[in-house]
Chains A and B, each alone.
Chain A
Amino acid sequence: MPSVMLKKNSEGKLVFYVPKKDLEEVAESIEFDSPERWGGEVLLSDGSKYYFEPIAPPDFPITLRAKRVDSGE
């Protein structure tokens, strides 16, 4: 359950940062990204997946807890 720092970059894409892992990736897709609900599975550009409990759209930048979704490797 890493803490993930999320922010929007200049192109409006979501940037994913895990401090302890020096992981800095752009999110490719987000399961729920509507005005009512935000979260679910997030696919990063390096192929790894994380899961966020769906919540009301947060105010970025923000730190949230995520679950690592096993890619079955």
Chain B
Amino acid sequence: MAALTREETEALIQEVLEIYPEQAKKDRAKHLAVNDQSLEKSNKCITSNRKSQPGVMTIRGCAYAGSKGVVWGPIKDMIHISHGPVGCGQYSRAGRRNYYVGTTGVNTFGTMNFTSDFTEKDIVFGGDKKLAKIMNEIEELFPLNKGISIQSECPIGLIGDDIEAVAKKANKEIGKPVVPVRCEGFRGVSQSLGHHIANDAIRDWVLENRDGDDSFPTTPYDVAVIGDYNIGGDAWASRTLLEEMGLRVVAQWSGDGTIAEIEKTPKVKLNLIHCYRSMNYIARHMEEKYKIPWIEYNFFGPTKIAESLRRIASHFDETIQAGAERVIAKYQAEYDAVIAKYKPRLQGKRVMLYIGGLRPRHVIGAYEDLGMEVVGTGYEFGHNDDYDRTIKEIGNATLIYDDVTGYEFEEFVKRVQPDLIGSGIKEKYIFQKMGIPFRQMHSWDYSGPYHGYDGFAIFARDMDMTLNNPCWKQVKAPWKTEPANSEAVKAVA
């Protein structure tokens, strides 16, 4: 099917909106748009980061998910207490594939669930005593932990527990960082506020820990990788490239990260931000307080990697700039071979994306390197500044949907008929049952890494094996196949 024109896309949006009652229609209309590259600012065409409408199927998460799941969870040598009832922690346990090295349960705790397991009694009488008690238990059972964070679930804010006081007391007793995070799920409209709260907690409780301590030897080439959560090993694939060009990666935030790395971050020369949405707050804070510049980079697909490596290198001297060129040249044969192999199989295929806060724009380059086209994209919890950055990345007349509802997404897909959809687990089976190839772009569908040159090879292979899988020809029921066939069957009968 040919790409939709601007008018067709606008008509499609109107058609999909038709089903809503007046008020809901008015609200949802603001979140759906047709891309116009001539616009400088996204707020002219799309509204984002607003409360979802009651009654629609939204795919968003909560502030707790943003803090515990995204920012704090991957800090592997700390214990993150899901403070509140047992479910929030248990059902999100180990689901995010943020890989780490270490012995789980001894010196790393990434995939474990620690919870204060609130019951009725704790809601009525308060849970501060219990919290203090479990922190002592943690110290006894897991003495190699390097700190504790308290991730609040909804009831904590509702009953007004003073977790800050408990944290301060525990910090004195056990002599390790104890960080209370006020990330109750009801705060904000999506997980995005959870990222912000988590960033602020790092700012207030961790970042200053080594101010005035110069015992850490620094070099002029120190950088911190921020906002790379090491999904399927992404951060490792990125780190090797940075190290090969001569930089020293002091900290990884927070995939495979440690609290010590975070404390050392104010000593670096440049902060590299991959996930802008979840970590720009802390980068801006460090810029102001420690005068550390920060830049956004993108390690999806060779075009963007080369662009990013050169941009990173431009902040350093000639040795690093030569290093960047050396790295790009070194991997050229490798990624040229990947493109030569997969581009003919994927050329011209059309992709629709609906992901979190970064990938809806970041992965576009990787698809384009493979000759594919992104015909629709949208953020679960992106803000205006994300859409500002998206407008230039995608073609004119591309469909943009913010916080898309289950209904809208299905209708868009039915009409646009993309060759591939990239979204999350909740969307996966709906679209697979509709007979459309699907890749999970949050967890890389249990594959990965996708960052860096190594990741690109895996990305290309995965897209090919999903798109060109013979199973998609078998999806249609035999009695619904071409009439010509049924004629033949009749003739046989």
Enumerate chain A interface residues (CB-CB to B < 8 A): 5, 7, 17, 19, 21-24, 45-46, 61-63
Q: How far is the CB of A22 from chain B (nearest CB, A)?
A: 4
Closest to A23 in B: B384
The 19 listed contacts between A and B (C-beta, < 8 Å) are A5-B284, A7-B287, A7-B288, A17-B284, A19-B281, A21-B384, A22-B49, A22-B383, A22-B385, A23-B384, A24-B385, A24-B388, A45-B40, A46-B41, A61-B284, A61-B287, A61-B288, A61-B291, A62-B288
Closest to A6 in B: B288
What are the residues of chain B within 8 A of A61 when measuring CB–CB?
284, 287-288, 291
Q: How far is the CA of A23 from the CA of B48 in the complex (A)?
A: 12
What are the residues of chain A within 8 A of B281 when measuring CB–CB?
19
Q: How far is the CA of A61 from the CA of B40 in the complex (A)?
A: 24
Contact of B384 among A7, A22, A45 (CB under 8 A): A22
Q: How far is the CA of A63 from the CA of B285 in the complex (A)?
A: 9
Closest to A60 in B: B288
Contact of A5 among B40, B41, B288 (CB under 8 A): B288
CB contacts under 8 Å to A, within B340-396, are 383-385, 388
What are the residues of chain B within 8 A of A45 when measuring CB–CB?
40
Q: How far is the CB of B243 from chain A (nearest CB, A)?
A: 25
Q: How far is the CA of A61 from the CA of B291 in the complex (A)?
A: 7
Interface of B is mostly: helix
User: What are the 9 closest A-B residue pairs judged by CB atoms, nearest first?
Assistant: A22-B383, A22-B384, A61-B288, A22-B385, A61-B287, A24-B385, A5-B284, A46-B41, A63-B288
| Residue from A19, A23, A61, A63 with most neighbouring chain B CB atoms (10 Å) | A61
Q: How far is the CA of A62 from the CA of B284 in the complex (A)?
A: 10
Q: How far is the CA of A17 from the CA of B281 in the complex (A)?
A: 11
What are the residues of chain B within 8 A of A62 when measuring CB–CB?
288
What are the residues of chain A within 8 A of B291 when measuring CB–CB?
61
| Residue from B41, B281, B287, B288 with most neighbouring chain A CB atoms (10 Å) | B288
* Given A19-B281, A24-B388, A46-B41, 5 additional A-B pairs, CB 8 A: A7-B288, A22-B384, A22-B385, A23-B384, A24-B385
Q: How far is the CB of B45 from chain A (nearest CB, A)?
A: 14
Q: How far is the CA of A12 from the CA of B164 in the complex (A)?
A: 41
What are the residues of chain A within 8 A of B385 when measuring CB–CB?
22, 24
Q: How far is the CB of A65 from chain B (nearest CB, A)?
A: 14
Closest to B291 in A: A61
What are the residues of chain B within 8 A of A24 when measuring CB–CB?
385, 388
Closest to B295 in A: A10
Q: How far is the CB of A42 from chain B (nearest CB, A)?
A: 17
Closest to B289 in A: A61
CB contacts under 8 Å to A, within B286-325, are 287-288, 291
What are the residues of chain A within 8 A of B49 when measuring CB–CB?
22
Q: How far is the CB of B93 from chain A (nearest CB, A)?
A: 31
Q: How far is the CB of A52 from chain B (nearest CB, A)?
A: 16
CB contacts under 8 Å to A, within B257-297, are 281, 284, 287-288, 291
What are the residues of chain A within 8 A of B288 when measuring CB–CB?
5, 7, 61-63
Closest to A5 in B: B284
Closest to A7 in B: B287
Q: How far is the CA of A17 from the CA of B49 in the complex (A)?
A: 17
Q: How far is the CB of B400 from chain A (nearest CB, A)?
A: 16
Q: How far is the CA of A42 from the CA of B449 in the complex (A)?
A: 45
Q: How far is the CA of A24 from the CA of B388 in the complex (A)?
A: 9
Closest to B44 in A: A46
Closest to A46 in B: B41
CB contacts under 8 Å to A, within B395-410, are none
Q: How far is the CA of A23 from the CA of B43 in the complex (A)?
A: 10
Closest to B315 in A: A10
What are the residues of chain A within 8 A of B383 when measuring CB–CB?
22
What are the residues of chain B within 8 A of A17 when measuring CB–CB?
284
Q: How far is the CA of A54 from the CA of B385 in the complex (A)?
A: 29
What are the residues of chain B within 8 A of A7 when measuring CB–CB?
287-288
Closest to B383 in A: A22
Q: How far is the CA of A24 from the CA of B40 in the complex (A)?
A: 12
Q: How far is the CA of A17 from the CA of B283 in the complex (A)?
A: 13
Q: How far is the CA of A23 from the CA of B287 in the complex (A)?
A: 18
| Residue from A22, A24, A63 with most neighbouring chain B CB atoms (10 Å) | A22
Q: How far is the CA of A57 from the CA of B281 in the complex (A)?
A: 24
Q: How far is the CA of A46 from the CA of B42 in the complex (A)?
A: 11
CB contacts under 8 Å to A, within B17-46, are 40-41
Q: How far is the CB of B193 from chain A (nearest CB, A)?
A: 11
Q: How far is the CA of A61 from the CA of B288 in the complex (A)?
A: 5
Q: How far is the CA of A63 from the CA of B291 in the complex (A)?
A: 13
